[in-house]
């Protein structure tokens, strides 16, 4: 009976079997390494975005919680922090006063899908101080959870497992090919994974490799990168939205106190360098409380929105307006030249605000304003001095209005 003799124990393996085992092992290793690299890169990127979003949320909460800390009002704290309670990935909030005593606490009613991931990626809360007129009046702490990461980890694990299964099937068919023909396309995949890991190049894609199985693998990796790029775009949009909320008043869309402080600092530096003058107007509504008391908070909000629009309509293109408190506004007239008188501008703002304001219920409301002005450098050369001078002038104007 003819045939191939049986192999003796300890006989040397054939080159074909050696290449087959080598190709199979190196392919699985490279693909597994690429999958793990992309998964870890994605988790790292998403974690950095999540940390930044939580940080921005803390700053946004610090602005919204300022009135509550001033008046020690837990209900106002709840209303001020309400927008943060709807942001995915926030598990718990805590507002502390200047003595470290809790004023308001909130915990998400949704369970943490992966406490281990939360403990690993969000071991500590993100905190922001709450300031008023340059003094710290409290602190807000924001805890994150794993809800923004768990979906990616689950999909990434399944996609990685699918890639490994496809690769295992493909390597069986490709075991007889020469090493160069197999290693070269794997090098393309490794290059893409390298760029993703080191440079966060989620726009990179695996090009057609000429091998059906590896092309399928490249398609799976490209699909995963498509998802990562989409999530990256979403996180960037959310980051931009949170950054805008952190620097703008949510009701009137005007810049808030933090944005005003930065704007004033910059304009003082420019004015000092160029020898220019500018004016600061401190505006306060005299009878705004009556709008809320007599017509409701919706009417009060409508008054504030309309007042902000009228203030903006009286300004030039380069001037700046901000809402820094409940019914308090700041205007920067910059630069200030001989053709512009701060008192004249204040009169125009008063006249504009005095026009009837239509309320949601159909009624009309007339608003009175008290306006105080300060001029740089006549009334001060730093932010504190200018604000103090404008505030004092505003209160003097308010007393004068009451005496009429």
Can you spell out the DSSP letters for 287-346? Answer: SHHHHHHHH-HHHHHHHHHHHHHHHHHTS-TT-EEEE-SSSEEEEEE-S--TT--HHHHH
Structure tokens at 171: 């390597």
What letter would DSSP give residue 111? P
Site of tokens 């008023």: 132
Of the candidates 261, 284, 327, 397, the residue annotated as catalytic is 327
Q: CA–CA separation, 377 vs 279, rounded Å?
A: 9
Residue 100 per-residue DSSP state: S
| CA dist., res. 378 & res. 400, Å (int) | 23
327 an active-site residue? yes
Furthest-apart CA atoms within the chain: distance in Å: 127
Tokens 């300060």 found at: 374
Q: What is the DSSP string of 332-396?
A: EE-S--TT--HHHHHHHHHHHHHS-EE-TTS-EE---EEEEEEEETTT-SSHHHHHHHHHHHHHH
Q: Which residues are catalytic?
A: 327
């Amino acid at each position: 009976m003819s045939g191939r003799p049986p192999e003796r124990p300890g006989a040397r393996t054939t080159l074909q079997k050696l290449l087959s085992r080598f190709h199979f092992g190196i392919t699985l290793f490279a693909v597994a390494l690429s999958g793990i690299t992309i998964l870890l890169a994605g988790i790292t990127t998403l974690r950095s975005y999540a940390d930044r979003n939580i940080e921005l949320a803390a700053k946004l909460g610090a602005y919204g919680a300022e009135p509550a800390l001033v008046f020690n009002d837990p209900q106002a704290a709840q209303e001020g922090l309400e927008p943060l309670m709807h942001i995915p990935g926030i598990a718990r909030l805590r507002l502390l006063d200047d003595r470290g005593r809790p004023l308001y606490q909130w915990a998400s009613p949704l369970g943490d899908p992966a406490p281990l991931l939360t403990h690993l990626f969000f071991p500590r809360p993100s905190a922001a101080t709450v300031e008023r007129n340059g003094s710290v009046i409290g602190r807000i702490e924001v805890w994150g959870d794993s809800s923004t990461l768990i979906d990616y980890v689950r999909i990434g694990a399944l996609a990685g497992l699918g890639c490994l299964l496809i690769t295992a099937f493909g390597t069986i068919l490709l075991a007889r090919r020469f090493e160069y023909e197999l290693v070269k396309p794997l090098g393309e995949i490794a290059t893409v994974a390298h760029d993703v890991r080191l440079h966060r190049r989620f726009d990179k894609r695996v090009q057609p490799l000429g091998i059906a199985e590896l092309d399928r693998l490249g398609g799976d990796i490209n699909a995963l990168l498509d998802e990562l790029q989409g999530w990256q775009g979403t996180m960037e949009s959310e980051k931009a939205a949170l950054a805008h909320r952190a620097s703008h008043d949510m009701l009137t869309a005007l810049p808030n106190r933090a944005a005003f402080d930065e704007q004033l600092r910059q304009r003082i530096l420019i004015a000092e360098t160029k020898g220019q003058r500018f004016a600061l107007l401190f505006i306060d509504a005299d009878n705004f409380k009556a709008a809320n008391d007599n017509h409701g908070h919706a009417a009060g909000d409508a008054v504030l929105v309309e007042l902000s629009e009228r203030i903006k309509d009286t300004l030039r293109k380069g001037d700046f307006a901000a809402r820094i408190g409940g019914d308090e506004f700041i205007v920067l007239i910059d630069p200030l030249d001989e053709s512009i008188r701060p008192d004249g501008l204040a009169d125009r703002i008063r006249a504009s605000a005095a026009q009837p304001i239509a309320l949601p219920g159909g009624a009309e409301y007339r608003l009175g304003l008290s306006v105080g002005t300060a001029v740089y450098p006549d009334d001060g050369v730093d932010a504190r001095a200018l604000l103090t001078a404008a505030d004092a002038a505003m209160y003097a104007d308010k007393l004068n209005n009451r005496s009429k």
